[in-house]
Amino acid sequence: MIELKGLTKVFDTGKARLTAVDHVDLRVPAGEIFGIIGYSGAGKSTLIRLLNGLEKPSEGSVEINGQNITAISGPKLRKARQKVSMIFQHFNLLWSRTVRENIEFPLEIAGVGKEERRKRSAELIELVGLEGRETAYPAQLSGGQKQRVGIARALANDPEVLLCDEATSALDPQTTDAILDLLVDINKRLGLTIVLITHEMHVIRKICHRVAVMEDGRVVELGEVLHVFQHPKENITKRFVAQVTETEDSAETVRHLREQYPEGQLVKLIFVGDQAEQPILTQLIREYQVEVNIVHGNISHTQRGAYGTLILQLKGTADEIAKALAFLGAHDVQTEVMGNA
Amino acid sequence: MLETLFPNVDWPAMWEATLETIYMTAVSTLFTFIIGLVLGVVLFLTAPNQLWANKVVNWLSGAFVNIFRSIPFIILIILLIPFTKFLIGSIRGPNAALPALIIGAAPFYARMVLIALKEIDKGVIEAARSMGATTWTIIRKVLLPESKPALISGITVTAIALVGYTAMAGIIGAGGLGTLAFLDGFQRSREDVTLVSTILILVIVFAVQFVGDFLTSRSDKR
Ligand SMILES: Nc1ncnc2c1ncn2[C@@H]1O[C@H](COP(=O)(O)OP(=O)(O)OP(=O)(O)O)[C@@H](O)[C@H]1O
Ligand SMILES: [Mg+2]
């Protein structure tokens, strides 16, 4: 478990004093994938660097699994860092070392013997799917492959916490998804706590359990990803959510839809994450005498299920439509009748 | 054939002078490498915001490097005569040239080491720190390997400069091809001796350059 109490970092650059992190209190339970989102300069990198003691706080404390990171230094801190590893936006691999040698680097630091290092690096190479590239140099790898090396290297000493500083920001969308899948896989398999920072809501949506929104060094909103998606409070949060879902359909669009689909009944389904939309729709179509047309949809998949809205046109007898709606209700899908034609 | 082209050249003496030049260059390059590397690393690590940030040490090493880099070599030799006498016991011969050669070249190389280290991506140093590396480990396993091509090409340039310095030292009696070209060739108007000495110096320079370039490109995995 990670616990931040009143964590503050002030940079004193000659004349200007800049509060990069401002009294942040957070608790991240073990095994969670915790996201921190914020715009450039919000203090995300500073915050994450405080977690492994690369930066000393001006105030407050960081506790990781009962150890106060801010109170230790020297060999103790170096030992602790082996259990709180980090991956970076620009990978930060040693170009003078091969893939395997890069992965073995933290093991060398930890004083692991040669044979054991070789064995461990082979396992890690397999875990991140880089078999066959052991002797390649970073310059010969794609961005996604480099980040896989970064991840393998970070996992070498069996850390308890993995810190990711914009780990996918230098990658294309497809590679980003692959790397995120790998992180989720690692989180599930190794029970690792992951703290990741990003400015992309897509990343939060795809893998995080909880999210903190940071602005000017402060955490302005915090909660379950799904909850934050559904009920963003702060304006900044709303803007981030809008990155992945267009919000509420206006009266205008409803009227427009009704004109386009004059027959049957328009129903808006709201998925709140505990159910997958596809099996429910399949069942609806199979078991009820209604004709279903998908008119409009905006579904996001989060770690805790689907979130979003789906507008359906249902055609059939009033009786069958009522039964269909009852079925949806029974499966925890909120429905909203948008009007008859 | 050689006799007619270069009537005044004493080949065994020429050969011996060549060996002396190679000896002076090799020994001074070795010490320059070690001292310059240490100085360069100290300059780098004691700079503000670095691992050993220390104003006093940084200023002192910086001043040392800048002063000795700026003194013209020929003057440095003269200034160092008492020091050389004390250290070597004589101011003539190849060994007597070494202190001046090393003190003249090490600061020059230290600068190049500093530039090479500054080129290293800060991120990799940060990554090593995040893994719990000690500063010593960072020097050995990050700073030096990551800047290896620049360190090698730097010492190549320095070694070539040192070949030139040995020739200059030769004029005041250090021995080697410089002495031969100056005393035997120039002062006695034997152009053929000067010419052969020059050719041999060029051969040494090209050989150093070739080996240096080869090692540089082999170490560069970027
Ligand atoms: N070493 C430093 N000295 C002075 N100011 C700093 C230092 N590091 C960061 N800052 C300042 O602290 C603020 C927060 O920086 P930080 O790097 O944490 O932002 P960020 O949220 O990670 O931004 P980005 O998304 O661009 O990476 C910025 O205004 C930055 O200029
Ligand atoms: Mg940042």
B41 close to B113: Cβ distance less than 8 angstroms: yes
Q: What is the pLDDT of residues A60-79, one digit of tens each?
A: 999 999 999 999 999 999 99
Q: Please name which of A107, A191, A109, A111 lies closest in space to residue A152, comparing C-alpha atoms.
A: A107
Q: What is the pLDDT of residues A109-147, one digit of tens each?
A: 999 999 999 999 999 999 999 999 999 999 999 999 999
What pLDDT shows up at residue A27? 96
Using only the alpha carbons of chain A, give its radius of gyration. Answer: 24
pLDDT confidence tier of residue A273, bands split at 50, 70 and 90: low
Arithmetic mean of pLDDT, B4-31: 91
Cα separation, A158 vs A154, in Å, equals 8
- Please list every residue in chain A whose beta carbon sits closer than 8 Å to the beta carbon of residue B128: 105, 109
- Poorest-confidence range of A85-89, A300-304, B28-32? A300-304
State the pLDDT at residue A293: 85
Average pLDDT of B74-97?
Answer: 87
What was the pLDDT predicted at A252? 67
Query: Is the minimum distance from the CB of A46 to ligand 1 under 6 angstroms?
Result: yes
Confidence band (pLDDT; 50, 70, 90) for A259? Answer: confident
Q: How confident is the model at residue A247 (pLDDT cuts 50, 70, 90)?
A: very low
Instruction: State the pLDDT at residue A158.
Output: 93
pLDDT of A246 over the 60 cut: no
Closest ligand to Cα A214: 1
Residue where the block lists tokens 């090490």: B106
For the beta sheet containing A161-165, the strands, ordered from the edge strand earlier in sequence to the opposite edge, are A84-88, A161-165, A193-198, A33-38, A210-215, A218-224
Encode burial over A108-143: b for 16+ CB neighbours within 10 A, e otherwise. Answer: bbbebeeeebeebbeebbebbebeebeebbbeebeb
- In a mutational test of the B interface, the residue from A109, A137, A165 whose CB has the highest number of chain B CBs within 10 Å is A109
CA B53–ligand 1 middle distance (angstroms)? 21
Of A204-213, B29-38, B212-221, highest mean pLDDT: B29-38
**Residue type present at position B36:** G
Burial level of B54, CB count in 10 A (0-12/13-18/19+)?
middle
In this predicted model, which residue has the larger pLDDT, A38 or A250?
A38
Give the number of other CB atoms < 10 A from CB of residue B177.
29
* Predicted-complex ipTM score: 0.89
Asked whether the beta carbons of residue B141 and residue A79 sit closer than 8 angstroms, the reply is: no
Confidence (pLDDT) at A274: 63
Kindly indicate the confidence band of residue A341, based on its pLDDT and cuts at 50, 70 and 90. very low
Residue B222 forms contact with A (CB below 8 Å)? yes
Instruction: Tell me what pLDDT residue B87 has.
Output: 87
Among A109-113, A183-187, A220-224, A261-265, name the one with the lowest average pLDDT: A261-265
The one-letter amino acid at B221? K
Helices and strands counted in chain A (H then E): 12, 14
**Mean pLDDT across B144-169:** 95
Between A205 and A210, the higher pLDDT residue: A210
pLDDT, tens digit (0-9, with 9 covering 90-100), for B128-152: 999 999 999 999 999 999 999 999 9
- Choose between B138 and A200: higher pLDDT: B138
> If you average pLDDT over residues B112-136, what whole number do you get?
96
Confidence (pLDDT) at B3? 77
- A81 HSE (CA, 13 A, CB side): 30
Share of chain B above pLDDT 70, in %: 100
A100 in contact with ligand 1, CB cutoff 6 A: no
Q: Tell me what percent of the residues of chain B surpass a pLDDT of 90.
A: 68
Instruction: Identify the pLDDT of residue A230.
Output: 77
Contact list, A77 vs chain B (CB under 8 Å): 132
- Ligand 1 centroid–CA A20 distance in Å is 6
d(CA A51, CA B176): 61
- The Cα–Cα gap between A299 and A229 comes to 12
Kindly write down the DSSP assignment for every residue of B72-108, as one continuous string: -HHHHHHHTHHHHHHHHS-SSSHHHHHHHHHHHHHHH
Q: Hey, whose CA ends up nearest to atom 30 of ligand 1?
A: A41
* A67 in reach of chain B (CB within 8 A): no
Computed over its alpha carbons, how large is the radius of gyration of chain B? 20
* Cα→Cα distances B104→A104, B117, B204, Å: 40, 21, 20
In the predicted model, is pLDDT for residue A239 greater than 50?
Answer: yes
Record the pTM: 0.84
Residue range A264-293: mean pLDDT, rounded: 79
Which among A11, A51, A163 is the best mutation to test ligand 1's pocket, defined by most ligand atoms within 8 Å of the CB?
A11
Say what the pLDDT of residue B162 is.
95
Nearest to B131 among A85, A90, A97 (CB): A85
**Residue A311 — pLDDT band, cuts 50, 70, 90?**
confident
Pick left, alpha or beta for residue A23 (phi over 0 → left; psi -120 to 50 → alpha; otherwise beta): left
* pLDDT given at position A339: 61
Instruction: Round the average pLDDT of chain A to a whole number and report it.
Output: 89
Q: What is the pLDDT of residue A132?
A: 94
